[in-house]
Structure 1
Amino acid sequence: MIYLDYQSTTPLAPEAFAAMEPWLKNGFANPHSAHAAGRAAAAAVEFARDQVAALLPPGGRVIFTSGATEAINLAIFGCGLPVIAASTEHAAVLDCVHALHGQLLAVNDESTLQSLPGKGRWHATRVTEGEGDQPPPIAANPLNHGLLGVPRYTGEELLAVMLVNNEIGTIQPVAELAAATHAQGGLFLCDAVQAYGRMPIPDGPDLIAISAHKIHGPKGIGALWVRDGVQLLPQILGGGQEQGMRSGTLSPALCAGFGAAAKLAADRMEIDAANVAVLWDRATAALANWTINGPTTARYKGNLNIRREGLDAARLISECRNIAFSAGSACASGSGRPSHVLRAIGLTDAQAKSSIRLGFGRYTTAEEIDIAAEAINRAAEAML
């Protein structure tokens, strides 16, 4: 099996497994207990917390969660502010926006949110039932006055924009967006799941959500970084174990695995980035007959989202049984609906359904890229 679904999850690093193993075998004590075994487990948790925090901006704290989805929920519901989000955000953000009857920034270009609110305010469409995943198409920049009706951004709100898009790899200028948000009195939430451990996380956000299993760590653990001075209300009650913000018994094994994966990512960041760049060049050359979805410059190169007109992506995935790749986010893969991200950047339903996402990284080889590209091209040609 050739694994090309790194945006969905990454293989567990041997170093992360080794860090977890003692806490799965003998170090099973509750880290919230006062006895010696519990204190040892607590020390392992705090050691891992420091390792995770080392890849995040200074001046904040790391709150362990069950994953990035819980971290995002804690950030959005915990801050108690109205929320605005880009239409290309992950479902974990968009579903929270819907639940709060919030607002959505329309995004219909294939690059970044280039226009900052230099003259005052964001302008956003109101999210209503059934509209959040497919904002109305517009002909110009979504932040320009007059195109989307009256201004919706008033300052004391939470703006959510991810650093690297999970479906098309777009890198957003979150430092500038955060500065503009702060200038208007708001807070900024960054979903950094696809960026953490792969590139430096810029300073600026007030809240940052991350996940271990995207950086070769274990599933079942993530974290929310909270800037000093930002106050949140806990969303899970029952003991207040995790700094009073997240009740429940922490797993020292999961924390240790997360920490080890973060340390390894820090040590290997330049090496991994160089490998990804080589693989991107190789894959795009081998798949030259495909159209790339999203930008080719302001993009994380471990994400290759491509399409061929008239192709059935679901059938192609079935035909290429020895290659693991996807038609988009794993969180929405069973819905049958076209990708809301691809629709938001202007693709039609047919174009979105003819698109596939290839994700590669640390353990991917050039030979695997060559074999996979040949098989995908062969299967696609047979279908067209």
Structure 2
Amino acid sequence: MSVYSQNRVYLDHNATSPLRNEAREAMLQAFDTLGNPVSLHGHGRDARKICEDAREAVALAMGVCAQDLIFTGSGMESDNTAIHSAYKAGCTHMLVAEMDHPATINAAQNCGAVCEKIPCNADGQTDMDWLRDRLKNWDSAEGRPFVSITAANSETGVIQDISTATDLTHDAGGLILVDAVQIMGKMPMTYNVDYLSVSAHKVGGPQGVGALYVASDAPFTSLLQGGGQEKRRRAGTLNVAGIAGFGAAANAATPMPHLSAMRDRIETELRTMEPDITFFGENAPRLPNTSFLALPDVAAQTLLMGLDLEGVSVSTGTACSSGVSRTSRVVNAMGLTDKAPLGAMRVSLGYTTTDANIDTFLNAWAKVRRYNQRVAS
């Protein structure tokens, strides 16, 4: 870690969580392994064992069978692979939650299928009554039903009712994909879905490694063509060190309910300082580490830059869309654009977050706001 980073407070874990020491050590050991995991000789077997041990660890954290797990290059690749597989299996009309991550929305819109968005309410919860009615009136000409729902929104942290969505989808004879990238390592995972995607760097593993669970009876078509790796399900030489880091991070990551007290303290103290502040999704079940907020008369990027100058790293939303000055897509979907006309800001805590970090953030916020108010006057 650079000296610059060491002196900063990091509150952007939903974008990426710092590499855990356990993952770093596992990767360093894997770098000393010479073989290709598909080679039959001893060096190859050593590399393959590293990958299979990691597969077991990641599968255990996901609550799935290791034999049904495919390593990928990212959560986004996992989502794209699942959607590609479903489309090739006849799911030519897809229902994608409006609160989904761009990884699923964009893939569904561009795979050739008709993409229909499942609306949400003002709390950011996917409308299960709408989904029930839509599936009840499904036309066989639309192909096999396919539903995609992100388990927890990366911006608001709102947790979706995956159990109900799964039951509705399966009762209609359909397939369901759940993007669990934000859930893994924060809450237990017990899903009975057809496709389940996760990503290493959200749990303190390395960037550039993901995994996709494919149920044994779910259709599958490889997205990447080439060699026979991953039982011919995902071509390309395995990233042995990255996979080792993923496995170690999955072993080390445990649910962090204590973060909710830190998150609640942030929201309580900010509300005292800012009576007009809005916390999106606060009335719905949320991840314990996430707060998505806005002031009606202050640009989110102005707050972000001010906090950055004070040594605090936060974000204005999902990392895949950051750097773009506009109203949050998620806020628009919730019908609350008037609450955040100048954008919203996300504070996301993680395993490195301390009470002292929260003190620093709140002090930095107060300093930035005093400066902004002086400038405005």
TM-score, with length taken from structure 2: 0.88
For residues 286 and 314 of structure 1, the distance between their equivalents in structure 2, rounded to whole angstroms, comes to 21
Shift in CA distance, 363/305, structure 1 to aligned 2, threshold 3 Å: same
Specify the SS of the correspondent of 1:373.
helix
Deviation at 1:117, TM superposition (A): 6.0
Give the letter aligned to residue 236 of structure 1.
L
User: Is residue 360 of structure 2 the alignment partner of residue 371 of structure 1?
Assistant: yes
Give the letter aligned to residue 18 of structure 1.
E
Aligned position for 1:72? 79
Aligned position for 1:245? 233
The structure in which a higher percent of residues are helix is 2
Specify the SS of the correspondent of 2:134.
coil
Specify the SS of the correspondent of 1:175.
helix
Specify the SS of the correspondent of 2:213.
strand
Equivalent position to 2:99, from 88, 92, 106: 88
Shift in CA distance, 254/311, structure 1 to aligned 2, threshold 3 Å: same
Specify the SS of the correspondent of 1:104.
strand
Aligned position for 1:8? 15
**Structure-to-structure mapping, 1:236-275, within 5 angstroms:** 236-265=224-253, 268-269=254-255, 272-274=256-258
Aligned Cα RMSD in Å? Answer: 2.2
- Are the aligned partners of 2:328 and 2:343 in contact in 1 as well (CA < 8 Å)? no
Aligned position for 2:69? 62
For residues 232 and 353 of structure 1, the distance between their equivalents in structure 2, rounded to whole angstroms, comes to 43
For residues 58 and 245 of structure 1, the distance between their equivalents in structure 2, rounded to whole angstroms, comes to 17
User: Is residue 221 of structure 2 the alignment partner of residue 233 of structure 1?
Assistant: yes
Q: Higher mean Cα deviation, 109-118 or 88-97?
A: 109-118
Deviations 1:277-319 (A, max 9, x none): 2211221122112220113441112010011111111122112
Aligned position for 1:132? none
- Are the aligned partners of 1:171 and 1:300 in contact in 2 as well (CA < 8 Å)? yes
Specify the SS of the correspondent of 1:208.
strand
User: Is residue 102 of structure 2 the alignment partner of residue 102 of structure 1?
Assistant: no
Deviation at 1:152, TM superposition (A): 10
- The alignment of Structure 1 onto Structure 2 pairs a total of residues equal to 353
User: Is residue 41 of structure 2 the alignment partner of residue 35 of structure 1?
Assistant: yes
- Are the aligned partners of 2:119 and 2:126 in contact in 1 as well (CA < 8 Å)? no
Give the letter aligned to residue 370 of structure 1.
D
Aligned position for 1:130? none
In structure 1, list runs of 5 or more residues that go unmatched. 124-144
Equivalent position to 2:183, from 195, 198, 207: 195
For residues 334 and 93 of structure 1, the distance between their equivalents in structure 2, rounded to whole angstroms, comes to 20
Shift in CA distance, 333/58, structure 1 to aligned 2, threshold 3 Å: closer
For residues 58 and 235 of structure 1, the distance between their equivalents in structure 2, rounded to whole angstroms, comes to 22
Aligned position for 2:265? 282
Give the letter aligned to residue 17 of structure 2.
T
- Are the aligned partners of 1:122 and 1:153 in contact in 2 as well (CA < 8 Å)? no
Specify the SS of the correspondent of 2:128.
coil
Specify the SS of the correspondent of 1:331.
coil
Deviation at 1:382, TM superposition (A): 3.4
Q: Higher mean Cα deviation, 175-184 or 368-377?
A: 368-377
Specify the SS of the correspondent of 1:364.
coil
Q: Higher mean Cα deviation, 361-370 or 329-338?
A: 329-338
For residues 338 and 108 of structure 2, the distance between their equivalents in structure 1, rounded to whole angstroms, comes to 23
Specify the SS of the correspondent of 1:159.
strand
Q: Higher mean Cα deviation, 296-305 or 206-215?
A: 296-305
Shift in CA distance, 77/119, structure 1 to aligned 2, threshold 3 Å: closer
Shift in CA distance, 153/6, structure 1 to aligned 2, threshold 3 Å: farther
Aligned position for 2:319? 330
Shift in CA distance, 166/118, structure 1 to aligned 2, threshold 3 Å: closer
Aligned position for 1:50? 56
Shift in CA distance, 350/338, structure 1 to aligned 2, threshold 3 Å: same
Deviations 1:239-260 (A, max 9, x none): 0212211100002111110001
Q: Higher mean Cα deviation, 193-202 or 340-349?
A: 340-349
Identity within the alignment, % = 32
Deviations 1:25-67 (A, max 9, x none): x213211111110111001100000000002234571100001
For residues 212 and 299 of structure 1, the distance between their equivalents in structure 2, rounded to whole angstroms, comes to 21
Deviation at 1:111, TM superposition (A): 4.2
Give the letter aligned to residue 102 of structure 1.
C
Q: Higher mean Cα deviation, 184-193 or 333-342?
A: 333-342
The runs of at least 4 consecutive aligned structure 1 residues that moved more than 6 Å come to: 150-153
Deviation at 1:349, TM superposition (A): 6.7
- Are the aligned partners of 2:99 and 2:124 in contact in 1 as well (CA < 8 Å)? no
